[in-house]
Homo-oligomer: A and B are copies of this chain.
Amino acid sequence: MNEATVPCRPIVGLTFRYEPREADCVSVRALLEATGVFTAEEVGVGVSLVRERLERGLESGYYFLFADSPEGLVGLGCYGPIGCAPGRFDIYWVAVTPEFHGLGIGRELLRTCEANIRRLGGVRAYVETSSRDEYAPARALYEHNGYAVDALQRDFYADGDNKVTLVKVLI
Q: Which of B88, B154, B156 contacts A88 (CB 8 A)?
A: B156
On A, residues with C-beta under 8 Å from B are 39, 41-42, 45, 83-88, 124, 150-158, 163, 165, 167
Contact residues of A: prevailing secondary structure: strand
Query: A153 to B156, Cβ gap below 8 A?
Result: no
Query: B150 to A45, Cβ gap below 8 A?
Result: no
A84–B46 alpha-carbon span in the complex (Å)? 11
Report the minimal beta-carbon distance from A150 to chain B, rounded to whole angstroms. Answer: 5
Query: B84 to A45, Cβ gap below 8 A?
Result: yes
Report the minimal beta-carbon distance from A72 to chain B, rounded to whole angstroms. Answer: 26
Report the minimal beta-carbon distance from A126 to chain B, rounded to whole angstroms. Answer: 8
